Chains A and B, each alone.
Chain A
C-alpha cells in the first residue's frame, strides 16, 4: 500500500462524462474505465501512495476500505501490465 503509481507519459486518454477512455499503445486496444476506475486514474499522479488513493476513492464513493483497496490494486496491476501506468520512484 506504500507504492506510488502514476500515469505513463504520452498516453492518450480522455475523461468522457465521468468515465475515462485510455488508448493502449502496445496492443492498439482501448480501455474504458467506469466512474471508480476513472477516479483511481485521476488520483494516480505518482505523488499519492496506494493507501492515499484508496482513501481518495472512499471519499468520493460509498465503499468500504477492503473493497476499495482490492479495486485499486487490481486496476494498478492491469494498467501497469498494459503499459499505461508505472510505479513512481
Chain B
C-alpha cells in the first residue's frame, strides 16, 4: 500500500487553547479526501482507543521532534514552526493518528506550561476533578460512577491541564476508554483538585507532599516523561501544578463511597 502524508498546521502554539490541531492542509488529493473522516473517528470512535500503546520512539533536535514507530509510521513535529507531519504506510492508520495526535498534545501542553495526564476527569459545578492512575487503578470506573451521580466526563483516559489566568484549566482529550458511549464534554473547565488513585479495602484520602505530587504528576505524563530533553520542563510544570492545586491519594474500593470524599 502506498504511503500517505498528512500535514497539520497548528493555529498558534502559544495562544491556542485547543490541543487538537485544526487541519489546514494535506499533501496530495488522496490524503485530503481521507483526512476529515479520520479525524472525526479519532474523536468519536471508541474502538480506536483500545489496544496497547504504539512502541514509538521520540528524538529531539531543538524544537523539532521526530516520532518513529515500529508499526510503520513516522511523524515530525516542529514546535517553532507550528507544524506537524504524519507519514504512514497504511498499516494501523488509527493507531498512527492516535499516537501522533497524543504525542503532539503532550508536547504542546508541556510547552504551554501544562501537562497531558493519563487520567480521567469529571466536571462538577464547583470545578473539574482529575483522577490520575496507571491502567487498572479505576479511572474509568470512577468516571462511570461520577456520570451516574450527574457529573460530566471530560475524558477517562487523557486530559490536558493548562495554566489559565487564575489557576489551571482541564481539557478532556478526544479519547475515551469506556466501552459504553458515555458523552464526553468539550471545552475548558477550571481545575479544582487532583487525586492519585490507589485501589484499597477502604475509601479515604491520604495527603501527599508537594514533592510526592510532583512525582505522581510526572509518572502519569505519558509520551514525554521518558526523555532527557523534556525532563526539565516536565519537572518545572509538575512542581508548579503540585504547589498550586490540592492533590491527594484517593484510596478507592470501586464503590460510590468515594463521592462524599471528593
Task: Spell out A's residues near B (CB within 8 Å).
Answer: 10, 12-14, 16-21, 23, 25, 28, 30, 32-33
Contacts and interface: CB of A to CB of B under 8 A. Distances in A.
A30 B243 contact: no
B239 A30 contact: no
B236 A21 contact: no
B218 A30 contact: yes
B214 A14 contact: yes
A47 B236 CA distance: 28
Contact of B236 (A14, A17, A25): A14
A30 B232 CA distance: 13
Contact of B209 (A10, A17, A23, A28): A17
B226 to A, nearest CB: 6
B232 A17 contact: no
B228 to A, nearest CB: 7
B242 interface: yes
Contact of B210 (A19, A23, A28, A33): A19
A32 to B, nearest CB: 5
B215 A21 contact: yes
Given A17-B243, A21-B235, 17 more contacts: A10-B228, A12-B231, A14-B214, A14-B235, A14-B239, A16-B239, A16-B243, A17-B211, A19-B210, A19-B211, A21-B214, A21-B239, A23-B218, A28-B225, A32-B211, A32-B212, A32-B214
